[in-house]
């Protein structure tokens, strides 16, 4: 239970502070403060981080004291930093949505608790150690070490995780930095949109006046000449201004075939580093970390089984564990190796993995539910349509590497929070309801094998 201040006084205090500072200062620095206690003339408040504490102590302590004297029986404000809490699903919130909010990851965002995509939650092994260290160095001193930092490696190995970690960490250290995480596809769409609406100035402001640009999956630019030209200028402007660039790709720049040499050579100016598929120990360590949150004990043999059968993709590694723990909870069985082998049959890759598109997943799910794809994308909120839509969203998360906002878009432009809710709902149902578990499993198997 959170301690409660004398009724109303805390609200009054906050209101009084709010009236005396700018909205940005309020949101960035003062709104995130929490009440702890008021004792012997001292009002104790907590801050989200050490950095926040130092900043508020330096800039706003006089104001905090004055207002405390007016409203509380206290003239002395003391600050303490709250320990970080994990907030696993908030990672995608960092993704900037072009057109949707038009909001970069700005200083006005209240510093958030550690998201899933953080350095702390990144398991380091020989396959990713160098990329991890470089990303960390860049987050701590943007623009000063490796610029650009270029990270490449195949799908599901942690590139997006590292990009978001850079954003979270540098924001923690310096909330005043302006940073923007963007997929290359969104950058491209923004650019096209800028041209179409004759608002190139907006586009340029958006991408050239920032401290850190985190550009994900740059292989998307391959063969798109206009965007390569534009990105070349964006790159130069940022680089000259000393802004940090972090870029990811599924392959080395030399294999980005249609990339012009001038851009390719710029990618090699800073530091190029790859991420390799994790070795079995690292896979096991990642599973251990995930298993800590599982509702049931997962025996070591089962973790080893998963680690040895899912070698090339960490997303699939996580999916395998989720499936087993859900099945065990549902059937109220202890998890054991026989069960794991049975439940994970389809994950043991026999054929080359295909890239699945949301349309296929929506189509298959709709068909299985006796509905049409348009039903799933459309606005209706009737059952059983909503359930089918949520199932399809869950499968998109499991079977593609689309972010939550992207999945939302594939379902007729829904918000990422709707998707987040759908994932939670389906995860919960898979544990409670056998029919849901069977349906999700069957669809996932069919789609993978199709």
Q: Which residues bind Mg ion (CB under 5 A)?
A: 159-160
Q: Does 315 bind ligand ADP (CB under 6 A)?
A: yes
- The CB-of-32 to Mg ion minimum distance in angstroms stands at 29
Q: How far is the CB of 158 from ligand ADP (least distance, A)?
A: 3
Residue 178, φ and ψ in degrees, nearest 5:
-100, 120
Q: How far is the CB of 250 from ligand ADP (least distance, A)?
A: 8
End-to-end, the C-alpha distance of the chain in Å comes to: 51
Out of Mg ion, ligand ADP, none, what residue 369 binds, judged by CB under 5 to 8 A for its kind, is none
Residue 128 CB, shortest distance to ligand ADP, in Å, is: 5
Spatial neighbors of 27 by CB under 8 A, at least 6 apart, are: 108, 109, 110
Site for ligand ADP in 115-174 (CB under 6 A): 117, 121-123, 128, 155-161
C-beta closer to ligand ADP: residue 16 or 124:
124
- For residue 150, the minimal CB distance to Mg ion (Å) is 14
Residue 397 interacts with, from ligand ADP, Mg ion, none (CB under 5-8 Å by kind): none
- 8 Å CB contact between 55 and 46: no
Residue 186, Cβ neighbours under 10 Å: how many? Answer: 22
Q: Which is nearer to ligand ADP, 140 or 401 (CB)?
A: 401
Distance, in Å, from the CA atom of 363 to the CA atom of 442, rounded to the nearest integer, reads 14
CB of 286 to ligand ADP, least distance (A): 5
Q: Which does 156 bind (CB under 5 to 8 A by kind): ligand ADP, Mg ion, none?
A: ligand ADP
* Residue placing its CB nearer to ligand ADP in the complex, 282 or 439: 282
Strand partners, 215: 182, 247
**What is the smallest separation between the CB atom of 248 and ligand ADP, expressed in angstroms?**
7
Q: Which one of ligand ADP, Mg ion, none interacts with residue 158, CB within 5 to 8 A by kind?
A: ligand ADP
Q: Which does 122 bind (CB under 5 to 8 A by kind): ligand ADP, Mg ion, none?
A: ligand ADP
Q: How far is the CB of 121 from ligand ADP (least distance, A)?
A: 6
Per CB under 6 A, which region of 82-90, 188-196, 265-273, 313-321 contacts ligand ADP? 313-321
Query: Whose CA is closest to 231, among 184, 278, 176?
Result: 184
The closest alpha carbon to 76, from 89, 67, 85, 84, belongs to 67
**Which residue in the shown chain puts its C-beta closest to ligand ADP?**
158
Q: Which of 314, 320, 343, 404 binds ligand ADP (CB under 6 A)?
A: 314
Residue with Cβ nearer ligand ADP (71 or 287): 287
Nearer to ligand ADP (CB atom), residue 211 or residue 217: 217
User: According to the binding rule CB under 6 A, does residue 389 interact with ligand ADP?
Assistant: no
What is the footprint of ligand ADP within residues 278-307 (CB under 6 A)? 286
Closest separation in Å from C-beta 93 to ligand ADP = 15
CA distances in angstroms from 355 to 228, 252, 388, 391, 432, listed in the order given: 25, 20, 22, 19, 30
Residues 279, 127 contacting (CB under 8 angstroms): yes
CB closer to ligand ADP out of 130 and 232? 130
d(CA 86, CA 112): 10
- Give the Cα separation of 227 and 182 in Å (integer): 14
Q: Which of 230, 318, 360, 398 binds ligand ADP (CB under 6 A)?
A: 318
Q: What's the closest the beta carbon of residue 157 comes to Mg ion, in angstroms?
A: 9
Q: Which is nearer to ligand ADP, 38 or 318 (CB)?
A: 318
Find out whether 95 and 403 touch, Cβ atoms under 8 Å: yes
Judged by CB under 6 A, does residue 321 bind ligand ADP? no
Q: Could you tell which of Mg ion, ligand ADP, none binds residue 408, using a CB distance below 5 to 8 A set by kind?
A: none
Least separation, in Å, of the C-beta of 304 and ligand ADP?
17
Nearer to ligand ADP, 361 or 371 (CB): 361
| C-alpha–C-alpha distance, residues 259 and 99, integer Å | 27
Interface with ligand ADP: number of residues (CB under 6 A) = 17
- Nearest partner of 222 among 265, 271, 263, 191, judged by Cα: 263
Longest Cα separation, the chain: 71
Name, in order, each residue with C-beta under 8 angstroms of 78's C-beta and a sequence gap of 6 or more: 42, 43, 44, 45
Chain residues that interact with ligand ADP, rule: CB under 6 A: 117, 121-123, 128, 155-161, 286, 314-315, 318, 401
């Amino acid at each position: 239970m959170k301690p409660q201040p004398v009724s109303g006084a805390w609200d009054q205090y906050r209101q009084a502070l709010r009236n005396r500072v700018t909205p940005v200062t309020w949101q960035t620095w003062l709104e995130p403060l929490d009440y702890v206690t008021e004792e012997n003339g001292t009002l104790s408040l907590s801050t989200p981080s050490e950095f926040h504490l130092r900043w508020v102590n330096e800039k706003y302590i006089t104001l905090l004291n004055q207002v405390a004297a007016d409203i509380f029986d206290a003239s002395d404000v003391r600050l303490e930093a709250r320990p970080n809490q994990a907030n696993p699903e908030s990672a995608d919130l960092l993704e900037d949505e072009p057109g949707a909010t038009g909001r970069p990851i700005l200083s006005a965002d209240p510093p958030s608790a550690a998201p899933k995509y953080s350095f702390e939650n990144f398991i380091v092994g020989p396959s990713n150690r160098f990329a991890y260290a470089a990303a960390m160095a860049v987050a701590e001193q943007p623009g000063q070490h490796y610029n650009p930092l270029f990270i490449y490696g195949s799908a599901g190995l942690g590139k997006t995780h590292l990009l978001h970690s850079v954003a979270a960490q540098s924001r923690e250290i310096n909330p005043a930095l302006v940073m923007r995480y963007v997929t290359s596809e969104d950058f491209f769409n923004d650019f096209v949109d800028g041209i179409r609406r004759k608002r190139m100035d907006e586009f340029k402001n958006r991408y050239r006046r920032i401290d850190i640009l985190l550009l994900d999956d740059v292989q998307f630019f391959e063969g798109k000449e206009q965007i390569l030209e534009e990105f070349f200028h964006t790159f130069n402007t940022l680089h000259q201004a000393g802004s940090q660039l972090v870029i990811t790709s599924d392959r080395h720049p030399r294999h980005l075939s249609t990339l012009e040499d001038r851009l390719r050579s710029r990618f090699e100016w800073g530091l190029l580093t790859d991420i390799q598929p994790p070795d079995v120990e690292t896979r096991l360590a990642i599973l251990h970390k995930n298993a800590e949150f599982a509702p049931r004990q997962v025996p070591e043999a089962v973790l080893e089984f998963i680690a040895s059968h899912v070698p090339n993709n960490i997303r699939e590694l996580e999916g395998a564990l989720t499936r087993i723990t859900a099945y065990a909870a549902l059937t109220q069985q202890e998890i054991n190796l026989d069960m794991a082998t049975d439940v994970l049959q389809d994950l043991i890759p026999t054929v080359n993995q295909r890239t699945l598109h949301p349309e296929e997943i929506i189509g298959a799910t709709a068909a299985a539910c006796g509905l049409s794809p348009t039903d799933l994308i459309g606005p209706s909120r009737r059952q059983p349509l909503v359930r089918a839509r949520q199932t399809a969203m869950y499968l998109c998360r499991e079977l593609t590497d689309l972010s939550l906002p992207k999945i939302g878009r594939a379902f007729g432009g829904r918000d990422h929070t709707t998707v987040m809710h759908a994932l939670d709902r389906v995860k919960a149902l898979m544990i409670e309801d056998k029919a849901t578990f069977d349906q999700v499993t069957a669809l996932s198997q069919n789609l993978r094998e199709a």
